Amino acid sequence: MRIPIPQLEAELRREELRAEEYGGDDPVDPPPKEGGNIPIPAAVNEKQADPNKVTWDGPGDPENPQNWSRSRKWFITVLCLLMTVNVTFASSAPSAAGLYIAAEFHASTEMAYLVTSVFLCGYIVGPILWGPGSELFGRRIVFRVTLIAYVLLHLGQALAHNLTTLLVTRFLTGVFACAPLTNCGGVLVDIWDPITRGTATALFSAGIFVGPVLGPIVGGFLTMSFLGWRWVFWIMMIFAGTCTVLALIFLPETYAPVLLQWKAQRLRKAEPKLNADVYAEHERSDWSFKGLVHRTLYRPIQMLLLEPILILVTIYLSLVYGILYALFEALPVIFVGTRGFNIGQSGLIFIGVGIGTTIGAYMTIPLSKHYPQLIVKWRGFPPPEERLLGAMIGAPALVIGCFWLGWTGQYPSIHWIVPAIATVPIGASVALVFNSFLAYLIDTYLQYSASAFSANTMVRSCVGAAFPLFTVQMFNRLGINWACTLIGCCALLLAPSPFLFYKYGTWIRSKSKFSPCLDLVIAKEIAAAEAAAAAKGEEKV
């Protein structure tokens, strides 16, 4: 069934506004797909013409974050980047101090690995709290509360008199630290259009990987210095405090439903009688406990169980995330154990990972240069599979990097620079795979992408927390070469994923409940238009 062009354009515009307004977390579940029609949430159709519903004052409304100046948008993006670097730096900085902490508290070596793992366990709990919190109260208040708590909890780590205190406060720090990771992506969706969003997301993603890379470098030298391991946490607190002050002063509210709610409240306050019936849709959403549980737990789990794309992407990204955090324990085994480096020197090897992630993040920009043309051709909704070009490069690069690191790192006779260089393709592949697949999830699920991200983050964090717990044992028992070979074979098994999604993703999405598949409807219209043009050409001949 074909949809008339004016109706199609109107429905596409409503879908785009819906995705922008709710930042990937539409409170309304999708209706079933029937006959290939675009599934528009009932709430949109019912309330579109309601004169009492508060909306933006036209497409150029200056209060709409999408219409803010580019300089203001980039300032907010850089601030989000800084917060992300800070919290990811905190995840890895104490990894170099783990053995010193265990020695001071007379704990086993295995307990030392928990310093990193329990922090990542906080990333499992955090998205359940801060994602819904930002959608109920707004982004800004959640950032303010969580960042202040995050800063204060560093005191429990720096002043801890026993390992239990340190690990408990470390876990709680992780819970509050994941707020930027959970909500900064939503901020970028709030303020950027789809064309520029790719560049902004690439910059933001670079921060996700730069932070963990800087952590072992700084933590290693601080631990070895006369300052000792406690100063790792003091430096983390100073960095966190600086970022928090900047966020408190300069970070505005960007979540459109909350801004419209504030606008409705201002109108009712200014003219109580005239505007008594004025409301914002956000005020009438289902914010009951049942509704929140449905959106924050039930829907992500439902999608994870029923959506093949989300399942495979989550498995792959979890492996990549696990490899990144496994490096914090593996590189000391390779360079301290076989080449006699000290902890500070082995931390410098992470510069290679940082160079790689920077290259990978930068490559996202030229790989997205064709996107403005696609946006025009596909009326704002190009096929999500066009986001997978970076992953097609990153997937084989990850396999090469793993084998390269393992078989050159095993033998001390090989110069240390050779396995050190292997960390560059590993870092580049991590950034390329993450950028591509996260953008793919956004374009695939649009207004339901927040639930997809929530499911992905929880599973990914579980894997990231688990990897450091067995990495050293695996490398000691299998050897550096075969341990990396095992990881490389797992990466090889999943490497075809982006290629398979590129070829079959359209068909898989057509069976999905949560993917709007707007490009499929547009494709029919494009094909019909091309056929009509060809027919006219033949008639003229």
Q: Residue 379 and residue 84: Cα distance in Å, rounded?
A: 33
Look up tokens 């952590």; give the residue: 215
DSSP 239: H
Buried b (16+ CB within 10 A) or exposed e, 270-305: eeeeebeebbbbbeebeeeeeebeebbbebbebbbe
The whole-number mean pLDDT for each consecutive block of 10 residues of the chain, a chain of 541 residues, reads 49 55 58 53 49 86 92 94 92 86 85 86 86 83 95 94 92 92 84 79 78 86 87 94 95 91 91 85 79 78 87 89 83 86 84 89 83 79 87 93 92 91 92 88 79 83 86 89 92 91 87 80 76 71 59
Q: What pLDDT, on the 0 to 100 scale, is given for residue 42?
A: 45
Q: Which residues contact 75 (CB under 8 A, 6 or more apart)?
A: 250
Identity of the residue numbered 476 = N
**CA trace torsion 322, 325, 326, 329 (10° rounding):** -160
Q: What pLDDT, on the 0 to 100 scale, is given for residue 25?
A: 56
User: What are the backbone dihedrals phi and psi of residue 53, each rounded to the nearest 5 degrees, phi first?
Assistant: -80, 130
- Which pLDDT score is estimated for 347? 82
Q: Where are the alpha helices (DSSP H) in 349-496?
A: 350-367, 371-377, 389-409, 417-445, 449-494
**191 and 252 Cβ atoms separated by less than 8 Å:** no
What is the CA angle 93-99-101, rounded to 5?
Answer: 75
Residue 389 has phi, psi (to 5 degrees) of -60, -40
pLDDT at 36: 47
Amino acid (1-letter code) at residue 35: G
Whole-number pLDDT of residue 46: 44
Tokens of 473: 């044992």
Cβ neighbours for 416, distance < 8 A, ≥ 6 positions apart: 335, 339, 341
What CA dihedral angle connects 135, 139, 140 and 141, to 10 degrees? 40
pLDDT at 262 (0 to 100): 92
Q: Supply the pLDDT for residue 71.
A: 94
Contacts of 347 (CB under 8 A, 6+ apart): 96, 216, 217, 218, 219, 220, 221
52 DSSP 8-state letter: T
Query: In this structure, what token pair is assigned to residue 268?
Result: 């009712």
> Hey, is 19 helix, strand or coil?
helix
Q: Residue 24's pLDDT is what? A: 53
Contact 326, 350 (CB under 8 A): no
For residue 277, the one-letter residue type is D
Assess contact for 494 and 319: CB atoms under 8 A. yes
The phi and psi torsions of 416 (rounded to 5 degrees) equal: -60, -25
User: Among 371, 379, 428, which residue's Cα sits nearest to residue 399?
Assistant: 428
**Cα–Cα dist 114/469, whole Å:** 7
Residue 425's nearest CA partner among 399, 409, 401 is 401
Spatial CA neighbour of 277 closest among 35, 52, 39, 41: 52
How far CA 216 is from CA of 42, 127, 156, 370, 522, in Å, comes to 51, 25, 21, 37, 48
- Report the phi/psi class of residue 221: left, alpha or beta, with left for phi > 0 and alpha for psi in -120 to 50: alpha
User: Whole-angstrom Cα distance, residue 438 to residue 88?
Assistant: 18
**What per-residue confidence (pLDDT) applies to 96?**
82
User: Residue 481 carries which side chain, given as an amino acid letter?
Assistant: N
Distance CA(116)–CA(174), nearest Å, equals 10
What span, in angstroms and rounded, lies between the C-alpha atoms of 337 and 341? 8
Tokens 């549980």 found at:
293
Q: How far apart are CA 355 and CA 368, in angstroms?
A: 21
Tokens 């790989």 sit on residue: 367
Q: What gap in Å lies between CA 80 and CA 246, rounded to an integer?
A: 10
Which of 385, 387, 386, 378 minimizes the C-alpha distance to 519? 378
Which are the contacts of 39, defined by CB distance < 8 A and separation ≥ 6?
30, 31, 32, 33, 516
> Rounded to two decimals, what is the model's pTM?
0.81
